[in-house]
Chains A and B, each alone.
Chain A
Amino acid sequence: MNKVKKYIIPSLFVIAFILCLIFPIKKYSTKSFERKDVYSFNLDSSKEIVQDFKADADYEYVGFTYANYEKIIKKGSLIVTLKSDEKEIISKSFKISSLLNNVTIYLNQKIEKGKDYQLVIKNSSNENVAVYLTKSTIDNANLYYEGESVDDNAIVIFRNEKKSYKHLWYYFMALSIYLVIIVVNKGEKKNVQ
């Protein structure tokens, strides 16, 4: 037991510190289309909307927010496809549900500054899904529903990731608690002697 206290636990703390530095966690920052007079748009079952946009910067992810307030989605998914120059870049199916808060889903796909993209959102569930639209006019952005142009735009959200050493907080918290226990116990030992 003494060996554990003397060598193993301090060694674990040293290893943990090195691991924290070597493997930083991800931190996200987001930017979205301007939100003005936001309203929810019902995307009917098996229908799709297409949002054209031009990227104003480089981003790591692209996504949007959905919800459903009318009927609970038992089973179903949203099929989200990102296209550029009419070519499909990525397509992913998201298992969805309606929950208390609006849910944001992202495609893990790099977006390049100045390039034109199309975000196709198809509802493959049996219930309506609400996608949020903004009345803001966004440069080089257009929305189409069943091939028809719509005046407003879907609220597209972009996300970038950075390295974060936030988990060092957990490390220092654990270390501090350990040191406090050592300090308090040491004093008692001396007292016993």
Chain B
Amino acid sequence: MFNKKNIRFILLTVFISLFVSFFIEVCVFNFKNLTKKSDSFPEIVDLDVKDVQGNNYLVTKDSYIVIKNKTGYINFLKLNYKSSNPFSWGIITNNGTVEKIYKSDSKNINTAIKKVGTKDSTIKIKFYDDATISNISIDNDIHIYWERFFSILFTSMLLISIIKKRSFFLANLDKLFLMSIICIGISFILLTPKAVYVSYDDQIHFKNSLNIFQKDEYRLSYAEQLILDDSSVKDNKVYTTILEKKEVYKYLNKIHKESKDRFINSNDKGNLYTRFIYLPFTIGYRIADFINLSFTSCLFVAKLFNMLVYAFLMYLAIKLAKYGKKILFVFALFPSNLYLATHFSYDPGIIASLTLASVLFINIITSDKINKRYLIGFMLLVIWACLPKAIYCPLLLLPLFISNKKYDSKKQAIMFKLMLVFITFLLLLTFVFPAVSGSMAGDNRGGNTSVYEQLQFIMHRPINYVKTFALYTYYNLTDYLLGLYSFVDMRYILEDSIYFPLYFVLLLNWIYTILTSKTPNLNKNNKVIIFLESAAIWILIGTAFYLSFTPVGSGVILGVQNRYFLPILVLFSLLFIPKNNKVEKDSITNILIPILVLVVLLGILSINVIP
């Protein structure tokens, strides 16, 4: 593998990628600053403030300060402030025609670094509330944004390698996947805010991962609490530039270091088994914390560990799959999957576990004899995924439909199947029993919910519920399986409209991938079973949300999202591969599309999102 030729190729790739990253970062993103100088003490040509005390300006409503621009260009305007409450202020450029309004608050940082980008000879800073302002300066320095630099580096290395070694990678999709997800996944982590409130319920997952064993007293540094309680840390409207965000991260790192011995009391008594899935986060976070990395680095390592678990499980799925390797490759690189895998979320762990379990199941039913490892692996993976979301437990019953002849003896087959039914029963106990007994609380995010009362409603008006469910299926089936959010979902960071065109590309590619994959050796019975299992999960998910997330008696089902169906998407898609595809059609475009879409999204992230 590491012969002279390969080493030379690797070195050359690294060199070219380094050059490209450096060039883009310095010559493209800092182009206007290359020949400009900063001005730490710009001349104040006019002002109307309440008072001046040395270098401090006490400003109030309608105060203003006008500064002279001797540098020829103002990239960033920097100033320090102090205020007891959030205060509004604005920068007026283009000779008084353009005004950008900001709201600053000294509870976290007391430095504002705002993008101005003007050649005006003077700019006016206007204030609308009380504050003390000092150290106004013009910043035209070259700022290397290392997160973007490394993202470009990794992406360039990936693309050069794929182009040069395309035949090798076409034959080894598992290796291509591993390389792609590591390069792009790390870039995703780097380019998104080092905070929570960035993906679905990540604040809840982060909090749970901090107290995985539900202790009565647990450590919660001030920085950990700050990102949980104050969503403005990730807010691009409050901290509008990378430089400001860096100040916030510096502050978080400082207060984390100072408050590592801070413990709080907790009454957090949930079910322990639902927390095991957070182990990758907790292990990564604690290791990073133990070796004294900064708070933001700890967050990076925690997310990285979660992403690596997702990558490893999906890599195994692609490597072991007898059928649908391409489908798995394309699916594993869905931006919605990758985005969740690079944030605090347990969904990717569930999706990857159940996808690998589906692959093992297909391998078993298309073989003459059962494979011991596959069978045990299937069972463990489904149990692991069902601990936090028991709704997927019908999948555990799939091996019941494997012919007894494939086992070593009939007795072994019956014993095994009985045990599986018992384990499924144990998993069902975790949510069916509390729901029926009335001890399960509804999710208050759904409004006036009550699991017990909703169940009573269904029992008394079953026809009503059947109607509600039929309508829910009619209106949502296509959307939940093939809709925008199944493919690309980066809500809280990017607007839907930005990635809408990418969705169509991915959808077409997904359909093409299914139509050109090799037909799996599934008989009619197998297909019926897979269909029924998928239908059972569809019904269970809809019913679970009707019970827990929908107000009692409602005619619609609320709270269901596309990501809940991703774990069964690959298994379900196998049913749609045409009958007579004897070989898997190789196409570099088909394989490149998911990677290129991710690269485009990285580009959009690096321009639109402040990490």
Contact = CB atoms under 8 A, between A and B. Distances in A.
Interface of A: 28, 71-72, 74-75, 94-100, 103-106, 169-170, 172-173, 176-177, 179-181, 183-188, 190-191
Nearest to B255: A74
Contacts of B203: 100
Contacts of A99: 207, 220, 225, 228-229
A180 B376 contact: yes
A97 B426 contact: no
B379 interface: yes
A100 B269 contact: no
Interface string B178-206: 00000000000000000000000001100
Given A169-B430, A176-B419, A187-B407, 11 more contacts: A94-B265, A95-B265, A99-B225, A99-B229, A100-B204, A103-B266, A170-B272, A173-B423, A187-B409, A187-B412, A191-B408
A184 B409 CA distance: 10
Interface string B201-222: 0011001000000000100101
A176 B426 contact: yes
B55 interface: no
B220 A97 contact: yes
Contacts of B409: 187, 190
Interface string B256-274: 0001001111110100110
B226 A184 contact: no
A72 B230 contact: yes
21 contacts: A71-B107, A72-B222, A72-B225, A95-B217, A96-B264, A97-B220, A97-B264, A98-B225, A99-B220, A100-B229, A106-B267, A172-B422, A173-B383, A176-B422, A177-B380, A179-B419, A184-B372, A184-B376, A187-B407, A187-B409, A190-B408
Nearest to A103: B267
B320 interface: no
Interface of B: 107, 203-204, 207, 217, 220, 222, 225-226, 228-230, 259, 262-267, 269, 272-273, 370, 372, 375-376, 379-380, 383, 407-409, 412, 415-416, 419-420, 422-423, 426, 429-430
A191 B423 CA distance: 26
Top-8 shortest CB links A-B: A187-B408, A187-B412, A97-B264, A191-B408, A183-B415, A180-B419, A176-B423, A104-B267
Contact of A105 (B265, B269, B419): B265
A97 B220 CA distance: 9
A98 B266 CA distance: 11
A95 B264 contact: yes
A26 to B, nearest CB: 9
Contacts of A98: 225, 229
Nearest to A179: B419
Contacts of A183: 412, 415-416, 419
A100 B412 contact: no
Nearest to B415: A183
Contacts of A100: 203-204, 207, 228-229
A170 B430 CA distance: 11
Contacts of B225: 72, 97-99
B379 A72 contact: no
Contacts of B375: 184
Contacts of B222: 72, 74
B426 A172 contact: yes
Contacts of A187: 372, 407-409, 412
Contacts of A94: 265
A34 B423 CA distance: 40
B412 A177 contact: no
B267 A177 contact: no
Contacts of A177: 379-380, 383, 423
A103 to B, nearest CB: 6
Nearest to B429: A169
User: Which of B203, B375, B419 has the largest number of chain A CB atoms within 10 A?
Assistant: B419
Contact of B263 (A95, A170, A186, A190): A95
B372 A185 contact: yes
Given A74-B222, A184-B376, A105 B267 contact: yes
